[in-house]
Amino acid sequence: MADGIHYPLDYSIQDLNLITGNGQKTNFKRLMINISYYEDLFNFVTSGSLSVIDAQGFIEKMQLTGNEFIEIQIGKVKDAPDNITEIFRVYKIEKRKPSGNQNSEAYDLLFCSEELFLSEQTKVSKSYPGKLISDIIADILEKYLQVPSNKMGKIETTNGVYDFVVPNMKPFEAISWISTYSRPQNYPGSDMIFYQTKEGFNFRSLQSIYADDIFGTYNYSAKNVDYKEQQNESKETSVQKYEFFKTYDSLHEVNVGTFANRLISIDPLIRSYYVTDFDYTKYQNQATSLNKNPPSNFFKNRLGAAQNESYEGVLKLAYSNNNEKKALYISDDATKAAAVAHDIFIETYVPLRTAQISLANYTKMKLTIPGDPALTVGKTIQFNMNSLDPTKDNKETDAYYSGKYIVTALRHIFTSEQFQTVVEIAKDSVPNKFQSISETSDWTEVIKS
């Protein structure tokens, strides 16, 4: 580690202090074995751990009880604007055991965002009549968690007004519940997600993230590449290793309704019901995706139905209120109409959110790259891997598994020797179209026989 960057795996620690509840501050730099910092697109807060070797008995000396904080400023270069700079809450000590000559101890300090603690210690009981969901979430963050302005990231405006009564729920519990109803203002469906990065709390549409410019291009290189010879400033970064932990799981996609599902919504007030079928191919024509083409060839089974046509495979039942204000005995009475709650758009958010969250994780992989503190979850990247097809030029990229991905989780790992970032990425689509299945092919006839 160093104050200035020399190689891609170098880093600089400016601050690493443990702060007790009474304000006592102790520098833990020399005790550090490693620091791990974690972000997850489908988790509400950032977290991490600090592993140390302690020969001075700080647990006893500082009277650690779980009411401590850890101050971190760490990154590639000292005082760089993209460094991780934060004060976290220490909530647990684990793996405490003797080390070396028995005159020291090794242990891990686990930490998380302070807002997680606050959310567990307070409740929200409030009515929100006729409000945008994005405004409700901003209100919870500002008034109940008192999130400072510099920790408020992107809160995208949602579509439609709603009537919510939050019934004595924890703030993050309330946000989790309300956000499932939310619909983005500029995109179809219901794919809003709430998450935290080092830049703050965010509430965004997945499609909005997909439309972002690519943060950087990452290329898989041979194992014998000398990473110290790479240009440190380049956004084209060599991947040290990769692993696919989900290329596709077609049985799972059928079971969860990724490409087709059916909602039967019932309105007992006006004694009506509605059937809403989700068809991926119709959705794709209006939605924003990471790449240009769908992740399947939509082969028809022996019953003559493709994946996007098997609606009854996933059947859901829910209550609706989408036409209550139009009912004759309500619409002709202003008092009655005013008493009816705003449409919750259940016919939109249940079938589409079911598919959109699953699509966002259709293909998943893990990359290990030289550490980059500027990289956060919610960024889009280009990943290139060489094709293994021997008939192709060895410089050609894989036609389906290269492409644009979204960063869904990452772990920055700082050791005494290097800084690496382990990134989980996912995509909902492919750059090149899969070959269509011929209805008259011999193989199709075999399947139907």
Distance of CA 68 to the CA centre of its chain: 28
Phi, psi of 81 (to 5 degrees): -65, -20
Same domain, 122 and 263: no
Does the residue 4 lie in any domain?
A: no
Q: What is the pTM of this model?
A: 0.90
Confidence class of residue 333 from pLDDT cuts 50, 70 and 90? low
Cα 42-77-371 angle, rounded to 5 deg: 40
Where residue 200 falls (left for φ over 0; alpha for ψ -120 to 50; beta otherwise) is: left
Does the residue 447 lie in any domain?
A: no
The whole-angstrom separation of Cα 425 and Cα 385 is 14
Does the residue 29 lie in any domain?
A: yes
Same domain, 183 and 233: no
Kind of pairing between the strands at 200-205 and 152-155: parallel
Provide the CATH number for the domain around residue 417.
2.40.30.150
- Last-in-domain residue among 66, 88, 115: 115
pLDDT tens digit string along 15-30?
999 999 888 999 999 9
Task: Report percent pLDDT > 90 for the chain.
Answer: 73
Q: Is the dihedral of CA 251, 377, 428, 160 positive or negative?
A: positive
Same domain, 73 and 128: no
Does the residue 348 lie in any domain?
A: yes
Does the residue 445 lie in any domain?
A: no
The whole-angstrom separation of Cα 64 and Cα 301 is 62
- Would you call 113 exposed, middle or buried from its count of C-beta atoms within 10 A (0-12, 13-18, 19+)? buried
Does the residue 1 lie in any domain?
A: no
What helix, strand, coil percent values describe the chain, rounded to 5? 20, 40, 40
Mean pLDDT of the chain: 89
Q: Are 241 and 227 in contact (CB under 8 A)?
A: no
Same domain, 284 and 341: yes
Provide the CATH number for the domain around residue 24.
2.40.10.10
Same domain, 198 and 258: no
Q: Are 286 and 188 in contact (CB under 8 A)?
A: yes
pLDDT of residue 2: 45
Same domain, 238 and 364: yes
Is residue 143 scored above 70 in pLDDT? Answer: yes
Q: In a 3-state reduction of DSSP, which class is residue 189? A: coil
Same domain, 299 and 339: yes
Tokens for 200, please give them.
């703050």
The whole-angstrom separation of Cα 24 and Cα 90 is 14
Does the residue 434 lie in any domain?
A: no
Domain range holding 101? 12-115
Same domain, 268 and 324: yes
> Which pairs count as long-range contacts for 385-390, CB under 8 Å and 24+ apart, including other chains?
385/219, 385/220, 385/242, 386/220
What is the domain count for the chain?
Answer: 4
DSSP structure class, residue 434: P
For residue 354, CA distances in Å to 102, 136, 314, 347 come to 54, 23, 10, 11
Is residue 43 scored above 90 in pLDDT? Answer: yes
The whole-angstrom separation of Cα 276 and Cα 49 is 46
Tokens for 72, please give them.
């971190």
334 Cβ contact partners less than 8 Å away, ≥ 6 residues apart: none
pLDDT tens digit string along 184-242?
999 999 999 999 999 999 999 999 999 999 999 999 965 544 444 444 445 457 899 99
Does the residue 296 lie in any domain?
A: yes
Distance of CA 115 to the CA centre of its chain: 18
Confidence class of residue 447 from pLDDT cuts 50, 70 and 90? low
Same domain, 132 and 182: yes
Same domain, 134 and 186: yes
The whole-angstrom separation of Cα 345 and Cα 322 is 6
Give the residue-averaged pLDDT of 321-330: 71
Tokens for 98, please give them.
């003797």
Same domain, 223 and 370: yes
pLDDT tens digit string along 81-125?
889 999 999 999 999 999 877 789 999 999 999 999 999 999 999
pLDDT: is 358 or 11 the higher one? 358
Provide the CATH number for the domain around residue 133.
3.55.50.10
Same domain, 110 and 17: yes
Where residue 199 falls (left for φ over 0; alpha for ψ -120 to 50; beta otherwise) is: alpha
